Amino acid sequence: MLLGIVFGIIASVFKVNQFVIDWIKPFGTIFINLLKLIAIPLIIASLIKGISDLQDISKLSRMGGRTVVIYLFTTLFSVSLGLLLVNIVKPGKSINEETRQNLLDGFANEASGKIALAEAQKESGPLQALVDLVPENIFGAMSSNGNMLQVIFFVILFGIGLILIEPKKAKPITDFIDGLNEVVLKMIDMIMLAAPYGVFALLAALIVESPNWDLFKALMWYSFTVLLGLAVLILIVYPTLAKMIGGFNYKQFFSGIGPAQLVAFSTSSSAATLPVTMERVQEHMGVDEEVSSFVLPIGATVNMDGTSLYQGVAAIFIAQTFGLELSLGAQLGIVLTATLASIGSAAVPSAGMIMLVIVLGSAGIPEAGLALIFAVDRPLDMVRTIANVTSDTTVSIIVAKSLGLLGEPHVRELDDYYHKDEGAS
Ligand code: ASP
């Protein structure tokens, strides 16, 4: 990020802007294309896998039902919180008309198409969104990132079919999907190796193309909005729920989950953090293993409050930057798509940003806007992963409590004491 900014400034001073646009910027574009490229395979593999893993849910229906409902509820709450904050702070409105015009010119083709599309959408009937959800041809749906909800619809139907057929017949498909999922995650790993160069190119191009600091100011406000929302979740919402339902005080809660939060921050991956989360929740927070071993792995893949909050804020921010007015209906649509997109996001670094393409595509916001927020994504990813992990933990406490499988607070305190003692000796 820093090198890109410095390079951009130097290039502007020496007036070699065109060189940067011709020879550096394309690498940024290639990188964004790679992210878009992997989105459809990622949804197909990770969502089918997510749904077919739910087989256990039917076995453990008592625990499963509550887990899914609470997970959905926390995710919906988070997107709504994000939308509320981004509508109050309005980070994308801070840029002036001239910068906006430059941006629009830069993305002219794509943006104008989308604006026309958004206009057309306004004129269609009230159930049009529902009709649009159901594709008439799956290959047609897969041919454009803007149709991702249709692909998700198909994938969910497919996943349910997979659960309902004889396990023996489903096995080759689930094995195949498992393998496919691994390959796609590996591909993302490989694409992410190019991330530093992509960030460098995009930032350098951003600077030489719009040499005023307006956009940076807007990006800072955007980051502030995301971080504010995440802070509300991590510091207020989850500890309060844990206190009200599980009887944890603030200190107990954070000393319990703190180490997992640190790992989440440094790896940006709920999946990589999972073993630590499990250990902390079982050994230090009194959640019975029966609950944690079921709730946490599912949570790591489907429950991403931080990601959904971020997707909501990012989508509206990009729309604001482009000067698109989104109606209340469109914003409610974002609540739905961001919830689905966060469920579909893999628990690995930057997955949330890739899935943002869906939210943008279905809200008629130019996907090219991804380039705007890409540069500041990594630090936000680190913090939203903390929110994701903390949410999973909180839900495991709630589910454990509701099933009578949560250790009493004094037992936990003794447990803390015991461990401290152990450390001292
Ligand atoms: N990195 C996040 C996680 O693993 C997902 C994302 O928002 O990119 O939880």
Q: Is the CB of 261 under 6 A from ligand 1?
A: no
Residue 424 reports pLDDT greater than 50: no
pLDDT at position 116 = 59
Q: Is 28 in the pocket of ligand 1 (CB under 6 A)?
A: no
CA distance 177 to 168: 15
- What sign does the dihedral 46-49-55-60 (CA atoms) show? negative
State the average pLDDT over residues 225-233: 97
What DSSP string runs through 40-77?
A: HHHHHHHHHHHHHHTHHHHHTHHHHHHHHHHHHHHHHH
Q: Count Cβ atoms within 10 A of the Cβ of residue 165 and give its class: 0-12 exposed, 13-18 middle, 19 or more buried.
A: exposed
Nearest CA to ligand 1 atom 1: 349
Q: Cβ distance 76 to 339 under 8 Å?
A: yes
62: closest CA among 392, 291, 395? 291
The two structure tokens encoding residue 98 = 């001239």
User: From the CB of 352, is ligand 1 less than 6 Å away?
Assistant: yes
Looking at ligand 1, which atom is closest to the CA of residue 304? 9
What is the model's pLDDT at position 423?
Answer: 45
DSSP β-bridge partners for residue 287: 406
Please give the distance, rounded to the nearest whole angstrom, from the Cα atom of residue 385 to the centre of ligand 1. Answer: 5
Q: What does the alpha-carbon distance between residue 119 and residue 397 come to, in Å, rounded to a whole number?
A: 46
- Which atom number of ligand 1 is nearest to the Cα of residue 389? 9
Q: What fold, for 2-424?
A: Proton glutamate symport protein (1.10.3860)
Question: pLDDT value at position 67?
Answer: 86
Protein residue closest via CA to atom 7 of ligand 1: 352
The ranges assigned to domains in the chain are: 2-424
391 lines ligand 1 (CB under 6 A): no
Ligand 1 center–CA 356 separation, angstroms: 12
Residue 83 pLDDT greater than 90, yes or no? yes
pLDDT band at 71 (very low <50, low <70, confident <90, very high): very high
Per the listing, tokens 């955007």 go with: 222
Residue 351 alpha carbon to ligand 1 centre in Å: 6
Q: Which residue has the higher pLDDT, 375 or 194?
A: 194
Atom of ligand 1 nearest to the CA of 300: 9
| Whether 363 contacts 337, CB under 8 Å | yes
Query: For residue 425, what pLDDT is reported?
Result: 39
**Binning pLDDT at 50, 70 and 90, where does residue 85 land?**
very high
268 lines ligand 1 (CB under 6 A): yes
In what helix (H) or strand (E) does residue 136 lie, and over which residues does it extend?
A: none
Angle at 219 between CA 213 and CA 223, to 5 degrees: 145
Cα(307) to ligand 1 centroid in Å equals: 6
pLDDT tens, residue by residue, 287-306: 988 788 778 878 887 899 99
Burial of 138 (0-12, 13-18, 19+ CB in 10 A): middle
pLDDT value at 421 more than 50 = no
Work out the mean pLDDT of the chain and round it to a whole number: 83
The pLDDT value given to residue 26:
93
Q: Is 384 in the pocket of ligand 1 (CB under 6 A)?
A: yes
Query: Does residue 112 or residue 99 have the better pLDDT?
Result: 99
Q: Lowest mean pLDDT: which of 28-32, 143-147, 338-342, 380-384?
A: 143-147
CA–CA distance, 219 with 367 (Å, rounded to integer): 17
Q: Which of 265, 313, 339, 350 to mutate to test the pocket of ligand 1 (most atoms within 8 A of CB)?
A: 350
- Does the beta carbon of 347 lie inside 6 Å of ligand 1? yes
Q: How confident is the model at residue 266 (pLDDT cuts 50, 70, 90)?
A: confident
C-alpha dihedral over 14, 18, 23, 28, to 10 degrees?
100
